[in-house]
Amino acid sequence: MKVQSPLARRPMRRACTDRCGMLPDCRFLSDLTALSRRGVRRRNAIAARAFIAVHCVGAASLLP
């Protein structure tokens, strides 16, 4: 059995039915994928470093 990350996208036809062929609750079928807590923390840390570099150090030219 293959294990798939919750952030990976599946084809819509397969996502609409579970293994029994029944439609799951529509609340969980969204085009927007939920970010994991680790991903949110990583994004916030990068944004904080960029803010400090631009506003405190003045190193905006060093940002990618």
Cα(47)–Cα(40) distance, integer angstroms: 10
| Banded pLDDT at 45 (limits 50, 70, 90) | very high
Query: What is this structure's pTM?
Result: 0.38
**Residue 4: C-alpha distances to residues 9, 16, 35, 63 (Å):** 9, 16, 15, 34
- Most confidently predicted of 2-6, 31-35, 39-43, 56-60: 39-43
Q: What would the pLDDT profile of 7-24 be if each residue is shown by its tens digit?
A: 555 555 554 554 555 555
